[in-house]
Amino acid sequence: MYYFHESRFDNGQLVDLGERRRAIDKFEMGNPYFHAYYKKAFITMRKGEIAWVVYKKNHHNGTYHAGALYQGMTEEEKEKIGEDVHLRFNVNNIKRNPICKDKNTFKGRADYYELIREVGRDLCEEGEWTNAANLYARSLADIKNMPRKIRDELSEEQLAYRKQMLVVLNQNIALCKIKKGMSDDAIKHSKEVLKLEEKNTKAMYRLAQGYRMKAEFEPAKEVLTKAINIEPNNTTLREEYKSLMEQKKAKEAQWYGKMSGFFEQKKFNDMEVQDEQDRILRERLWNKMQREHEEAERKAEEEAEKEAAQQ
């Protein structure tokens, strides 16, 4: 979690506008000023929210009042300041890094998957798509690349659960990649889902979104048509199909508008003539090469027959 730190005296006067900091540093260092209220603010806050924490004298120990700003004030100004200091926190980025505690068993990896799903859901709600995708990818690697020793001992139920985990993780990564505008990765992970479940309409939907982002309308149309045939009452699929067709139509109109004048120009006619001449020349060269090849084969056969006759 990253935050901006701002300090003000009790009367609202700015003490300092701190730099961007990592909240985890406070946990690891055991900072004596990092008291329960400070900690609670970080645990409960969401990205974009603001919290004010009041530091009493027994917590800040006069640290702020010992600074040059306070010392340069008159006694009257110091009385107005008061003993308390107010700290303003604005969380602007959240990054979480849960660790798998047991990679030596299927249960350990499955428990880590469940933890990643929970953490990833929170990150997606905060719009932290990159962090979420990285965590999903880490869990995916753990599930996909299980040692043979673990895989060979899995029951039918565990094998089915492993397949479900692979499906969910690939789907979630595809969603994160779409949100980040990374169409190729979204397509890749959607296809991985369809290898496991060929009728998974959610994966088809995201695959179509990936194609659409690349303006590859025909593949997107084909995928959505297949998905709608599987779930004809799925309004999300139908709305996506309608939107795709509108985008495709608008794009084609734009392309045709740019090319409309070009097709009537003499330059294009000259290009057509040149293309025809090139085609004729290629055809002649091909025929010549074919004749030469046939002649070489005929001579080789004759030589082989002469050698056989001499023997």
What is the DSSP code (8-state) at residue 297?
Answer: H
What confidence tier does 254 reach under pLDDT thresholds 50, 70, 90?
confident
How confident is the model at residue 3, as a pLDDT?
47
Closest CA to 50 of 80, 107, 10, 92: 92
How confident is the model at residue 68, as a pLDDT?
76
How confident is the model at residue 29, as a pLDDT?
40
- pLDDT tens for each residue of 176-196: 999 999 999 999 999 999 999
Residue 100 or 96, more confident: 100
The mean pLDDT value for 248-263 works out to 69
Residue positions counted in the chain: 311
What is the third-level CATH fold of 2-93?
Chitinase A; domain 3 (3.10.50)
Residues linked to residue 5 through DSSP beta bridges, in sequence order: 89
Residue 233 or 14, more confident: 233
Q: Is the pLDDT of residue 117 over 90?
A: yes
Q: Of all residues in the chain, what percent are helix, strand and coil, respectively (each to 5)? A: 65, 10, 25
Most confident of 60-69, 239-248, 267-276: 239-248
Is residue 215 within 8 A of residue 252, CB to CB? The reply is: no
Q: Is the pLDDT of residue 41 over 80?
A: no
Residue 301 or 220, more confident: 220
Q: Is the pLDDT of residue 65 over 90?
A: no
- The reply to whether domains 2-93 and 106-247 share a CATH topology is no
How confident is the model at residue 76, as a pLDDT?
81
The mean pLDDT value for 23-37 works out to 51
Could you tell me which CATH number the domain at 106-247 has?
Answer: 1.25.40.10
CA distances from 196 to 63, 190, 267 (A): 61, 10, 52
Alpha carbon distance 53, 87 (integer Å): 5
When mean pLDDT is compared across 85-89, 159-163, 234-238, the lowest value belongs to 85-89
Angle in degrees, CA 254, 242, 246, rounded to 5: 10
- Give the residue extent of every domain in the chain: 2-93, 106-247
The mean pLDDT value for 116-145 works out to 91
Q: Is the pLDDT of residue 102 over 70?
A: yes
Q: Is the pLDDT of residue 275 over 90?
A: no
Residue 299 or 93, more confident: 299
When mean pLDDT is compared across 21-30, 32-41, 103-112, the lowest value belongs to 21-30
Phi and psi at 260, nearest 5°, equal -60, -45
